[in-house]
Structures are given as structure tokens and as C-alpha cells.
């Protein structure tokens, strides 16, 4: 039954969530480590799995990734420091910095830590090369077309700020500063369409031929989708791998040397491992519309407001009453923020939608599913709301992996 939470297949079951709601103040995030490990296994054909940590950058999640032999991508100095804190090594390719620009502080730390750079602009190469000759670099290439689940996640084409348009222009800079070019990278938005993917793989081969340098790695980037809705199918990893593997073989043949194939997923590894638990605090009618307001807002879970993303919502009744799943009400679900966009049931563009949900009572818990990716990591302090707890379930034990921030901590920055 779609409106009920899963009772059997994972640690994110009714019994565990009930226990957690007794112990912790809502709202809070919960992750199941087993789900992450199972997703990692699905990618074992790739030579290197590099976790795009921006999807879920908690250091305990990063440690779990490290334990499972993953490498990590960082897109800011903060993410580099997180990776180091979690045990990833400097002076190696365990951490790669991907960006379209450097700020000065980040640039100097990257040189100090000797972290390879996946450059999305020619200026980055110049700025790095002029003070760090010999530094290992990748080129992030814009293949001149894009794809994504929303305009905001499309990462290729003329309307994307990401990547280098003509990688041939990078060559004189690389030569001048004796940078070491080790890999080519293409991250083409979120979502997969296999016909489109073929084009991306072809563009990768073309770029290698164009540049004709003895690189070691190619990266397929991230963007592997997960089924957020019941009627969506999971991605066929074999098909995905096969297309990239064919590109790798062509490249290997052309350069006459082995090439390692990297993949760089964020969402795929963590989205399904996480839920957001919130409590219903107000139920009210606005004309004919039924509003249910919970204690979590878009400062906690940003995706519906930002992209019109769909998250499945289920109910955990506070009083253990039987939920009447066949009798549903068209319901709008919103949060506490002083902002009309604080609605979890909306389309891209902001049109309010309703969800068919069983009768809900004050005090019930609403669970937002598949929020392990771009959930906690996108949260903000808007409306002066402290960041909420993150809890990891591992071997049937609950571990608070991030404490709830206090208002005092927030205010202390302004002392
Ligand atoms: C965001 C990002 C990813 C991960 O994207 P997902 O859609 O979460 O898989 C991978 N690589 C780069 C460079 C990114 O910016």
C-alpha cells in the first residue's frame, strides 16, 4: 500500500521509526547503512567508484564509503576537509576537487594537500599551473549538450556554466605550466536516457581523440537516477556500464594503453537510504483545500521547493490506529516556514499539488522517503531554524551522526 511505510525490507521500518520518535525530537533524518552498501555492490563493475559527497556529506557516511573502498569527490574546501576528516588521504587520488573556479583559500589548500583538480575552466588551469607546476589535473568537458531531471540540474550545453567548451584550448596551458593531464570527465546532469547516454559516450571518445594525450582515467560522472515514484523503473546498470565500457575500450585502443573507468554517483548511492521524519502539528482548510502542516520545512528538505521534486510521503499514526488506505483525501503538505513556497507537494514552477493521503491526525508522523540525497546536505538555517539531527542505523543500532544544532550555536556566530 503506497501510503504506508515499508514494514519488512529495510531498517527503515515502522518499528524502528516508532522507537526513534520516542527517543528523539522531530524532525530528524534517518539513514540505513545496509541500503548504501547494497547500492555500492551494484556498481562493482566500475574500476573506481567516486562518491559525489555533496549528495550527503556527513563524515560518518563518508567513513562508510571509505570502508567500502570508494573514493570521493569534493566541490569545495569544506568538502575536502570533510573527506580528510573521514580518513581519505591527501597526496593521492582518493579525493578529487571538481569545480569551475577556485577561490584563493581553496586553491592554496589544494596545493598544500596536493589534491588532483578536475578543472571546469581554463582559468583554473592557469591559476593552478602558475603556482603548482606538475599538479595532476582532469578536464571536465562540456559536450555541448545536456540532460537533467530539471533545468536546474542540467549540466551540459550552452546554458550550463559547467565544464570546458573546447578542451583543445586547455592543451597550451597544460604544456606551459607542465601540468599533468590524467583524466577526462563528463558529468551530464541527472537522469538517464540510454540513447542520450550513447551520445555522451561518443562525445567522450571524440574528446580523447581530439586531445590525443596519454590520460589514465575517464569518468562517467554521476547522474544515475533512482525511482522516486512507484511507477518508475530502476536504472539498468549493466546497460549503463556496457555503454561506458565500450567507450573505454575504444579509448584504450586509440591511446594504446589501459584506461580506468570511473563513475561518480551521489544520488544513486544514498537517496534511498534516507528518510525525513516529521510530525503533523496543524491541519486546516483553505476553502476547499485540505492543508496538513508538519514541523519540517524547506530549510530541511529543499528539493520539492527548489525543483518540484516528488518524495513519497507515508504516515506513521501516533496512536497506532489502523490507517484506512482506501479512503483518501486530497491533501497539501506544508511546513512551518514563513514563506508560501514551503510546500512539499508542488510541481516545478511552484504549482501547488495535492497528494491522496488517508485521514491524518495531529501528532501523526509523516515520513518523506528517498531523501538521503540532497536532503540534509542542502538544508539551511532559514527562519533561524537549527540544522536537525541525523541518525544512522547500522547493525540494528541507532547512532546520532549529527547532533541537532542549537539556537545558541547559531547566535554565537554573531557575538
Ligand atoms: C553533483 C555531481 C555528481 C553527482 O550527481 P548525482 O546526480 O547525485 O549522481 C557527480 N559529479 C559531479 C561533478 C557533480 O557535480
Pairwise CA distance, residues 143 & 164, whole Å:
8
The three-state DSSP-derived secondary structure of 329-372 is EEEEEECCCCCCCCECCECCCCCECCEEEECCCCCCEEEECCCC
Ligand 1 touching residue 190 (CB < 6 A): yes
Q: Known catalytic residue: 338?
A: yes
- For ligand 1, the distance from its centroid to the CA atom of residue 266, given in whole angstroms, is 6
- For ligand 1, the distance from its centroid to the CA atom of residue 27, given in whole angstroms, is 27
On the 0-12 / 13-18 / 19+ scale of CB atoms within 10 A, 181 is: buried
Determine, yes or no, domain membership for 242.
Answer: yes
- For ligand 1, the distance from its centroid to the CA atom of residue 74, given in whole angstroms, is 10
Least confident segment among 3-7, 158-162, 240-244, 405-409 = 3-7
* The pLDDT of residue 55: 98
Q: What is the arithmetic mean of pLDDT over 336-365?
A: 96
Ligand 1 touching residue 136 (CB < 6 A): no
Number of the ligand 1 atom closest to the C-alpha atom of 271: 8
pLDDT at 8 over 90: no
Angle subtended by helix axes 59-67 and 77-85, to nearest 10: 60
* The pLDDT of residue 254: 98
Which domain, by its residues, includes 209?
33-269
Ligand 1 touching residue 96 (CB < 6 A): no
pLDDT at 154 over 70: no
Pairwise CA distance, residues 156 & 143, whole Å:
6
Q: What is the arithmetic mean of pLDDT over 133-144?
A: 94
Q: What are phi and psi of 342, to 5 degrees?
A: -80, 65
Determine, yes or no, domain membership for 307.
Answer: no
Pairwise CA distance, residues 206 & 212, whole Å:
10
Beta bridge partners of 83: none
50 in a labelled binding site: no
Least confident segment among 150-159, 364-373, 399-408 = 150-159
pLDDT at 7 over 50: no
Pairwise CA distance, residues 16 & 316, whole Å:
11
On whether the CB atoms of residues 222 and 52 are closer than 8 A, the answer is yes
Ligand 1 touching residue 189 (CB < 6 A): no
Nearest to 146 by CA among 125, 165, 167, 124: 165
On whether the CB atoms of residues 222 and 188 are closer than 8 A, the answer is no
Which residue out of 36, 50, 54 has the highest number of ligand 1 atoms within 8 Å of its CB and is therefore the one to mutate?
Answer: 54
H/E run at residue 18: helix 14-23
Pairwise CA distance, residues 12 & 368, whole Å:
12
- For ligand 1, the distance from its centroid to the CA atom of residue 49, given in whole angstroms, is 12
Q: What is the CATH number of the domain that holds 128?
A: 3.20.20.10
What average pLDDT is seen over the chain?
Answer: 94
> Which positions ≥6 away from 12 have C-beta within 8 Å?
5, 6, 30, 32, 35, 275, 393
* The pLDDT of residue 2: 42
Least confident segment among 116-120, 232-236, 368-372 = 232-236
Least confident segment among 324-328, 353-357, 375-379 = 324-328
DSSP per-residue string spanning 118-187: EESSHHHHHHHHTT-TT-EEEEEB--S----SSGGG--SSTT---SBS-GGGHHHHHHHTT-EEEEEE--
Determine, yes or no, domain membership for 203.
Answer: yes
Q: What are phi and psi of 331, to 5 degrees?
A: -125, 140
374 in a labelled binding site: yes
> How sure is the predictor about 193, in pLDDT bands with cuts at 50, 70 and 90?
confident
pLDDT at 3 over 60: no
- For ligand 1, the distance from its centroid to the CA atom of residue 362, given in whole angstroms, is 38
Pairwise CA distance, residues 43 & 22, whole Å:
37
Determine, yes or no, domain membership for 74.
Answer: yes
> How sure is the predictor about 109, in pLDDT bands with cuts at 50, 70 and 90?
very high
C-alpha cell of 172? 597550451
- For ligand 1, the distance from its centroid to the CA atom of residue 14, given in whole angstroms, is 31
pLDDT at 386 over 90: yes
Beta bridge partners of 259: none
Determine, yes or no, domain membership for 192.
Answer: yes
Determine, yes or no, domain membership for 113.
Answer: yes
Q: Which of 1, 286, 338, 413 is catalytic?
A: 338
Give 242-252 pLDDT, tens digit per residue: 999 999 999 99
pLDDT at 52 over 50: yes
On whether the CB atoms of residues 149 and 191 are closer than 8 A, the answer is yes
On the 0-12 / 13-18 / 19+ scale of CB atoms within 10 A, 370 is: buried
pLDDT at 204 over 90: yes
pLDDT at 19 over 60: yes
Ligand 1 touching residue 32 (CB < 6 A): no
Ligand 1 touching residue 187 (CB < 6 A): yes
> How sure is the predictor about 153, in pLDDT bands with cuts at 50, 70 and 90?
low
> How sure is the predictor about 147, in pLDDT bands with cuts at 50, 70 and 90?
low
Ligand 1 touching residue 223 (CB < 6 A): yes
Ligand 1 touching residue 39 (CB < 6 A): no
Give 274-294 pLDDT, tens digit per residue: 999 999 999 999 999 999 999
Determine, yes or no, domain membership for 369.
Answer: no
Ligand 1 touching residue 54 (CB < 6 A): yes
Give 163-174 pLDDT, tens digit per residue: 999 999 999 999
Which residue out of 186, 264, 374, 378 has the highest number of ligand 1 atoms within 8 Å of its CB and is therefore the one to mutate?
Answer: 264
Number of the ligand 1 atom closest to the C-alpha atom of 98: 13
> How sure is the predictor about 303, in pLDDT bands with cuts at 50, 70 and 90?
very high
Q: What are phi and psi of 65, to 5 degrees?
A: -65, -45
* The pLDDT of residue 1: 36
Residue with cell 594537500: 113
C-alpha cell of 246? 565500450
- For ligand 1, the distance from its centroid to the CA atom of residue 151, given in whole angstroms, is 15
pLDDT at 146 over 70: no
* The pLDDT of residue 152: 60
* The pLDDT of residue 413: 96
> Which positions ≥6 away from 189 have C-beta within 8 Å?
146, 147, 148, 149, 153, 154, 155, 156, 223
* The pLDDT of residue 155: 65
Ligand 1 touching residue 186 (CB < 6 A): no
Pairwise CA distance, residues 359 & 329, whole Å:
7
Which residue out of 140, 187, 309 has the highest number of ligand 1 atoms within 8 Å of its CB and is therefore the one to mutate?
Answer: 187
Pairwise CA distance, residues 300 & 399, whole Å:
20
Number of the ligand 1 atom closest to the C-alpha atom of 374: 8
Determine, yes or no, domain membership for 169.
Answer: yes
Into how many domains does the chain fold?
1
Atom 3 in ligand 1: residue holding the nearest Cα: 222
322 in a labelled binding site: no
Pairwise CA distance, residues 145 & 86, whole Å:
36
Give 24-42 pLDDT, tens digit per residue: 999 999 999 999 999 999 9
- Note the pTM of the prediction, 2 decimals: 0.95
189 in a labelled binding site: no
Amino acid at each position: 500500500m503506497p501510503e504506508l511505510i515499508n514494514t519488512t525490507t529495510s531498517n527503515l521500518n515502522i518499528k524502528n521509526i516508532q522507537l526513534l520518535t520516542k527517543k528523539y525530537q522531530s524532525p530528524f533524518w534517518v539513514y540505513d547503512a545496509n541500503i548504501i552498501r547494497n547500492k555500492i555492490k551494484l556498481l562493482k563493475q566500475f574500476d573506481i567508484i567516486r562518491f559525489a559527497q555533496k549528495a550527503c556529506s556527513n563524515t560518518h557516511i563518508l567513513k562508510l564509503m571509505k570502508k567500502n573502498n570508494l573514493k570521493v569527490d569534493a566541490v569545495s574546501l569544506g568538502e575536502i576537509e570533510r573527506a580528510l576528516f573521514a580518513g581519505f588521504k591527501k597526496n593521492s587520488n582518493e579525493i578529487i576537487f571538481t569545480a569551475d573556479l577556485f577561490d584563493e583559500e581553496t586553491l592554496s589548500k589544494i596545493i598544500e594537500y596536493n589534491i588532483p583538480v578536475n578543472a571546469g575552466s581554463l582559468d583554473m588551469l592557469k591559476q593552478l599551473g602558475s603556482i603548482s607546476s606538475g599538479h595532476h589535473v582532469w578536464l571536465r568537458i562540456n559536450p555541448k549538450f545536456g540532460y537533467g531531471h530539471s533545468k536546474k540540474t542540467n549540466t551540459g550545453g550552452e546554458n550550463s556554466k559547467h565544464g570546458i567548451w573546447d578542451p583543445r584550448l586547455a592543451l597550451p596551458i597544460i604544456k606551459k605550466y607542465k601540468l599533468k593531464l590524467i583524466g577526462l570527465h563528463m558529468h551530464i546532469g541527472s537522469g538517464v536516457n540510454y540513447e542520450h547516454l550513447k551520445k555522451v559516450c561518443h562525445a567522450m571518445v571524440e574528446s580523447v581523440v581530439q586531445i590525443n594525450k596519454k590520460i589514465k582515467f575517464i569518468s562517467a560522472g554521476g547522474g544515475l537516477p533512482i525511482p522516486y515514484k512507484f511507477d518508475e523503473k530502476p536504472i539498468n546498470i549493466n546497460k549503463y556500464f556496457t555503454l561506458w565500457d565500450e567507450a573505454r575500450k575504444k579509448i584504450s585502443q586509440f591511446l594504446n594503453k589501459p584506461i580506468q573507468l570511473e563513475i561518480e554517483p551521489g544520488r544513486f548511492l544514498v537517496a534511498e537510504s534516507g528518510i525525513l521524519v516529521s510530525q503533523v502539528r496543524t491541519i486546516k482548510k483553505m476553502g476547499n483545500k485540505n492543508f496538513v502542516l508538519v514541523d519540517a520545512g524547506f530549510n530541511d528538505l529543499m528539493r520539492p521547493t527548489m525543483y518540484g521534486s516528488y518524495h513519497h510521503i507515508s504516515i506513521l499514526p501516533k496512536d497506532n490506529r489502523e490507517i484506512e488506505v482506501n479512503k483518501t483525501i486530497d491533501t497539501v503538505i506544508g511546513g512551518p516556514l514563513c514563506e508560501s513556497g514551503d510546500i512539499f507537494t508542488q510541481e516545478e514552477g511552484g504549482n501547488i499539488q495535492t497528494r491522496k493521503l488517508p485521514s491524518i491526525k495531529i501528532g501523526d508522523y509523516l515520513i518523506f522517503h528517498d531523501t538521503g540525497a540532497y536532503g540534509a546536505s542542502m538544508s539551511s538555517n532559514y527562519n533561524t531554524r537549527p540544522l536537525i539531527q541525523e541518525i544512522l542505523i547500522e547493525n540494528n543500532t541507532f547512532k546520532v551522526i549529527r547532533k541537532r544544532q542549537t539556537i545558541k550555536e547559531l547566535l554565537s556566530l554573531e557575538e
